[in-house]
Structure 1
Amino acid sequence: METLRIGVIGLGRLGRIHTTNLIQHVPEAKVKTLADPRVDETKKWAERLGDFEITANWQDVLEDPEIDAVVIASPTTLHGEMLKAAVKAKKHVFMEKPLAHNLETARELYKNLKNTGVKIQIAFNRRFDHNFRKVKDFIDSGELGEIHLIRTTSRDPHLPDIEFVKKSGGIFFDFMIHEFDTARFLTGSEVVEVYAGGSVLLDPRIGEAGDFDTAYAILKMENGAICAIDVSRKTTYGYDQRVEVFGSKGSARAENDRETNVIVSTEAAVCSDKPLYYFPQRYMQSFANEIRAFVESVLEDKDVSAGVEAGYYSILVARAADISAKENRSVKIAELI
């Protein structure tokens, strides 16, 4: 069996999830090197998983001729630099979203990283989630007919650290980026117009940082479908992740995953479990699915599900949403291309 030798750059929460999944769920992959400036912390964490080369210098991974591919899970501001360096070093790349921290960098990457000879997959994990995948299968089968409306909801169980908010790029780039990719993924069409807005209802410090904690976007797709998105930085009841698709022949709706599907009905109330608490619980299987798909794409020379193009267009929509919210007007994507 052919083996793909991998180095992981960035061992924060998602870097650790991807490393663990590669080791436990992808036998065709071998993790050789972990790169993170927090060397001692990384060594302590990695002890339970096996023996690895550990370095503070991410360039060491790219200079190793034995490494075939890299996982980039670094801070967003480093994505562009690391991706270009990895491609130059002829490494296949699995990189966390977003593609870049701004539209200008994303556009440069999109223009310059075509036909590179290596696979580049952007980690839009919802494409690999069982619920979103099932909805997509219904769409592709034709059972729902022509798609007219999509509604997505994404709400986190707790507020992010304010320092994270300041560096995140904003709610449209950091948070709603998944919904923008979901709209393209489900409809198979491009966004042509965006109207978006937001409020600061949860933490005034988020507003002081120039961001929203509660936001919406209405997307008009090239095929005429309309997508309505709502997001919030905090719920009181868990991780709220829902999608509904309405078409000319029917509709499909994916509800929240829960620990059990038991519903208790009594004289006092009808009760069920809350949604799973946060994304590590809700999307863990999708993380394993997407990294496995990446390894298969490299070893079997298949197209990746979400490449640089998907990363670029999601940022294009995010920028349009940001402008729309600030200027209180609809923004046509053609204005930004």
Structure 2
Amino acid sequence: MGGGDVVRVGLIGCGRIGQVHCRALEWNPKADVVIAADFFLKAAESCAEKWGIPRAVQDWKEVVASPEVDAVVICSPSDTHCEIIIAAANAGKQIFCEKPIDYDLARIDEALSAVQSHGVKLQLGFQRRFDVNFVRVRDAVQNGEIGTPYMVNIISRDPAPPPIDYLKQSGGLFFDMMIHDFDMSRFVLGSEAVEISAVASSFDPAISEIGDVTSAIVTIKFENGAIGAIQCCRKAVYGYDQRIEVLGSSGAVETGNNYPNTAIISSDAAIRRDLPLNFFMDRYKEAYAAEMEAFIDMVRTGTDPVVGGIDGRIPVVMAYAAAKSLKEGRPVKLSEIK
């Protein structure tokens, strides 16, 4: 496309995250959503009415086949991503897809092969890479501001577990929740993991019954010699808890939670402030907008994606290694995961 062209976007999946991307695209004068699809037609029609999208359909294949669509934004259920990516690549569309590509590595490779063979671009939805706080942590590491990185510590806690029906198809904590943290660990360090160890437990009988866990700690060894720890928990009663710290040979860099305001209340009893933002869509609202802006710019200029297909594959490998470590009670090298 030419640098001055408006990108015509087809949205596939009109649920919660699809609406977030619609908001970001509405703000972007370089993009125009021309069609929306959802397995529930009423959801597509409601989305189209809310965001001024001229056409709503039930079958995502109509989006992929439309000559009026330059790029697709895939926000459908996880188990449909791979099929839609392959079809979109075959149709010559540029592609944005929410994580994961798939939970099966062979299927992921099939999708990435289709993208490559048809010469289209694929950007993965790891919105935390566009958060200004995490970007600053990465920059501090990559620019040598803290010297040689020794260790990274990531804390990731949700306010409450998702509905059990969602968890049944999510792939589990390592694949659904911690996958963002796996990506963030390699993003900020600029190095790949070589070995993973995991311990986990569950405080929720219903989640235990479906074979999942609610709390996990994963330790990681990286190629550059650094080590890392990721703490994930499905429930933190005080809000959405997202923190990261990297310690290096000449200093450290860290970032804490985001709050709805900066007010601090001081009295003779305590010094306190309001709770952190309680929902990931509030916490990462600006990051989602920046992520979609990067995708539209990629489509218009033909540059490589900021978060490419391989960035969608590696965290899945890390998740498999964590699951294997938990099951077998031993460290697992990523080279064991095929």
Q: 2:98 aligns with which of 96, 101, 115?
A: 96
- 1:311 aligned residue: 312
SS at match of 1:230: strand
Structure 2 CA distance for partners of 1:329 and 1:111, relative to 1, 3 Å: farther
- Identity rate, percent: 42
The CA distance in 2 between the partners of 1:112 and 1:318, in whole Å, is: 24
Please show how residues 119-138 of structure 1 align to structure 2 within 5 Å. 119-138=121-140
Q: Residues of 1 paired with 2:309 and 2:43: CA distance?
A: 32
**Equivalent-residue separation in structure 2 for 1:66 and 1:49 (angstroms):** 18
Q: Is the 8 A contact 2:219 2:228 kept in 1?
A: yes
- Amino acid aligned to 1:148: Y
Contact 2:90-2:114 at 8 Å conserved across structures: no
**Superposed displacement of residue 263, structure 1:** 1.9
List runs of 5+ in structure 2 lacking aligned partners. Answer: none
Are positions 1:219 and 2:225 aligned together? Answer: no
Residues 224-263 of structure 1 mapped to structure 2, 5 A cutoff: 224-263=225-264
Amino acid at match of 1:13: R
Give the aligned partner of residue 7 of structure 2: 4
Which secondary structure does the structure 1 equivalent of 2:35 belong to? strand
SS at 2:29's partner residue?
A: coil
> Cα deviation per residue 1:258-284 (whole Å; 9 max; x = unaligned)?
011222222211101211011011001
Between 2-11 and 15-24, the greater mean CA deviation after superposition: 15-24
* CA displacement 1:190-239 (0-9 Å, x = unmatched): 110000121011x1111110100111111111111111000111111110
Which secondary structure does the structure 2 equivalent of 1:48 belong to? helix
Q: Is the 8 A contact 1:103 1:319 kept in 2?
A: no
Report deviation, 1:116: 3.6
- CA apart distance, 1:99: 1.7
CA RMSD of aligned residues (A): 1.2
Pair 1:109–1:41, CA change in 2 (3 A): closer
Q: What is the aligned partner in structure 2 of residue 22 from structure 1? A: 25
Task: Point out the more displaced range, 264-273 or 247-256.
Answer: 264-273
Structure 2 CA distance for aligned equivalents of residues 147 and 249 of structure 1 = 9
Q: How many Å apart are 1:14 and its aligned residue? A: 0.4
Structure 1 unaligned regions, length at least 5: none
What is the CA–CA distance in structure 2 between the aligned matches of 1:259 and 1:2, rounded to whole Å? 37
Q: Give the conservation status (yes or no) of the 8 Å contact 2:44–2:58.
A: no
Is 1:264 the counterpart of 2:265? The answer is: yes
8 Å CA contact 1:110–1:312 kept in 2: the answer is no
CA contact (8 A) 1:18 1:287 kept: yes
Q: For the residues of structure 1 that align with 2:114 and 2:336, how far apart are their CA atoms?
A: 21
1:182 maps onto 2:184 in alignment:
yes
How far does residue 101 in structure 1 lie from its aligned partner after superposition? Answer: 2.4
1:111 deviates by: 4.8
- Residue 41 of structure 1 deviates from its aligned partner by 3.1
Rounded Cα–Cα distance in structure 1 between residues aligned with 2:114 and 2:20: 30
Aligned-pair distance for 1:302? 1.4
2:323 pairs with 1:322: yes
Structure 2 counterpart of 1:332: 333
Q: Secondary structure of the residue that 1:114 maps to in structure 2?
A: helix
- Residue 84 of structure 1 corresponds to which residue in structure 2? 86
* Contact 2:14–2:43, Cα closer than 8 Å, also in 1: no
Shift of 1:103: 2.9
Tell me by how many angstroms 1:160 deviates.
Answer: 1.0
Q: Distance in 1 between matches of 2:267 and 2:278?
A: 25
Could you say if the C-alpha distance between residues 112 and 57 of structure 1 is closer, same or farther in structure 2, counting changes exceeding 3 Å?
A: closer
Q: How does 1:57-206 map to 2 (within 5 A)?
A: 57-114=59-116, 116-201=118-203, 203-206=204-207
- Out of 48, 51, 59, the position equivalent to 2:50 is 48
- 8 Å CA contact 2:115–2:121 kept in 1: the answer is no
Tell me if structure 2 keeps the 8 A contact 1:196–1:321.
Answer: yes
Q: CA deviation at 1:115?
A: 5.3
TM-score, structure 1 normalization: 0.96
